[in-house]
Amino acid sequence: MEAAAAVFAARGRQVDVREIARCAGVGMGTLYRHFPTKDELLDTVLHEDFLAWTRSARQAAADHRDPWEALSAFLDDALARQSRHRAMLERFADSWDTTPAAAECTQRLRPIIDELLARCHEAEVLRPDVTSGDISLLLISLGRIVQVQAGDQQWRRLLQISLDGLRPCHGETLPPASPVGSPLSSPAPPRPAIRGQADGTEGTAGDVVTR
């Protein structure tokens, strides 16, 4: 398993199973007795990797007392993990993947993202109309940058730009979220109004009220 995990991380999902067997020091017959298909082997490897990721993410969220730092650290860690693990990146970037490993990743990450956003909204450090679906699609889109850009300088730069855009100082209301959403989406919270839209008075950018 360790050899398979290392090969998938370095080469991605398209690696030849003969390469995996060679790195593991076993014959093809032995490999197929344990894992009849490459997809079964990949799902087993990613199951362990997703478990480790979600355990780490949950612990990190608990360790960061500042809600904004917790969210920022989660996004940075998620992209750093994808940059080190090509198969995980490919699976996560395929947002409509319906394999068991992808479904498990969705089920485990969704409550973590929901909790991070709830803390940020309560502390009023995040745009009030940002949803968990927005965050998951942001991860998927930045994951594409990780795929095509060598090193981490560019995706870290774009992550910082994205984080700045998530700050609550932006007063313009976001367009409605897509009804299709994302596999990691949860129902959107009620959209707060810019003061003046709610009561007819003139308001300033970022002056938000709750309906």
Q: Please write the tens of the pLDDT for every residue from 148-194.
A: 776 677 889 999 999 999 999 876 788 887 665 555 555 444 444 43
pLDDT at 71: 96
Say if residue 59's pLDDT is above 50.
yes
* Structural contact between residues 22 and 9, judged by C-beta atoms closer than 8 angstroms: no
The two tokens of residue 13 are 């999902």
Phi, psi of 30 (to 5 degrees): -65, -45
Say if residue 198's pLDDT is above 50.
no
pLDDT at 94: 64
Residues with Cβ within 8 Å of residue 2, at least 6 apart in sequence:
none
pLDDT at 194: 38
pLDDT at 68: 96
Residues with Cβ within 8 Å of residue 63, at least 6 apart in sequence:
none
Q: What is the pLDDT of residues 97-131, one digit of tens each?
A: 556 666 766 777 889 999 999 999 999 999 999 99
Closest CA to 25 of 4, 42, 8, 5: 4
Neighbours of 50 (CB within 10 A): 22
Q: DSSP alpha helices (H): ranges in 35-167? A: 38-63, 67-84, 86-93, 100-123, 132-148, 153-165
What is the DSSP code (8-state) at residue 180? S
3-state secondary structure of 137: helix
Torsion, CA 123, CA 128, CA 132, CA 137, rounded to 10: -120
Question: Would you list the DSSP string of 106-118?
Answer: HHHHHHHHHHHHH
The stretch 16-40 carries a mean pLDDT of: 81
Identify the band that residue 9 occupies on the pLDDT scale cut at 50, 70 and 90. Answer: confident
pLDDT at 191: 43
Q: Which residues pair with 209 in a beta bridge?
A: 193
Hey, where are the domains in the chain? Answer: 37-209
Identify the band that residue 211 occupies on the pLDDT scale cut at 50, 70 and 90. Answer: very low
Say if residue 53's pLDDT is above 80.
yes
Q: Please state which of the ranges 7-21, 41-55, 176-190 shows the lowest mean pLDDT.
A: 176-190
The stretch 31-45 carries a mean pLDDT of: 81
Q: Which CATH superfamily is domain 37-209 in?
A: Tetracycline Repressor, domain 2 (1.10.357.10)
The stretch 36-42 carries a mean pLDDT of: 81
Identify the band that residue 201 occupies on the pLDDT scale cut at 50, 70 and 90. Answer: very low
